[in-house]
Amino acid sequence: MMKEEEDDDQALPEAVPGHCRVKGRGARPVWIEWKFYAPMSLVTSAPHPLVSERIRSLAILLNDSEKPRDIYTPHCLGYSRDVDKVTEDDHCRFGLVFQVPSHVPGGNGSLEPVTLQKTIHSQVGVLVSARLQLALKLSTSLLYLHSVNRLPKGLRSRSILFFEDS
C-alpha cells in the first residue's frame, strides 16, 4: 500500500492499528492513517473546505469496490475528523480508516504495517525477479493513482507499506 506524505519530512502521516465498530458487523481490526491539516484561520481550527473535499474524494476512491486490483490499497471504510467529543479539542487531522487485509492474521498483534525501507534492509539475498515483480506492481499502482489525479507526494521507500502475513 502506498500512502501520501506531506512535503516536510517531519510531517509524516501517523499509521496506527486499532479496532472499530462497523454498523451491523461488530468490531473488526482496522488501520488508521492520520492526515494532518493546517487550520483555515486563527479563529477556527476547521480545515479549509478544499482539504475536506480532497479527503472525502480520496476516501470514496479507496472505498470503491470496483477500483482496479492493481491499485494495491486496502479497502477504505471511511474517514473522520479527529475532534474530542468531550473536550471539543480539535487535533487538526483526519483519520482514513482502512480494513486490515484478509491475509493478515487478526489475533497475533501483527496489525502494524512494515515499510518497504525496513523490508529492504531486513531481506538478504532476495531474488532479482522478486524485486522486479514488486517494482512492476508499484509502478502499475502509481499509474492507476495518477490516472485519477491522485499524485502521491514524497514517494519513497518509507512511505510504501506492507502488512505481514502468516
What pLDDT tens digit does each residue of the chain (166 aa) get? 444 433 333 333 444 545 455 555 566 778 888 888 988 887 888 898 999 998 998 888 888 888 887 888 888 889 999 888 888 888 899 999 988 777 776 544 456 778 888 888 887 777 888 889 988 988 998 888 888 777 777 788 888 887 766 4
Q: How far apart are CA 62 and CA 75, in angstroms?
A: 6
Domain annotation covers residue 4:
no
pLDDT of the residue at 95: 92
Domain contains 1: no
User: Is 69 a member of any domain?
Assistant: yes
Strand, coil or helix: 6 = coil
What is residue 58's predicted lDDT score, i.e. its pLDDT? Answer: 86
| Structural domain that includes position 143 | 14-162
- The reply to whether 7 falls in a domain is no
Task: Please report whether residue 6 resides in a domain.
Answer: no
Residue 22 placed within a domain = yes
pLDDT for residue 111: 63
Q: So what's the pLDDT on residue 165? A: 61
**pLDDT of 4:** 40
What pLDDT does residue 23 have? Answer: 53
User: Number of structural domains, the chain?
Assistant: 1
Q: Is residue 5 part of a domain?
A: no
Q: What's the pLDDT score for residue 94?
A: 93
pLDDT score recorded for residue 166: 46
What was the pLDDT predicted at 3? 42
CATH number of the domain within which 38 lies: 3.30.200.20
DSSP H/E element including 22: strand 14-22
- 98 is a domain residue: yes
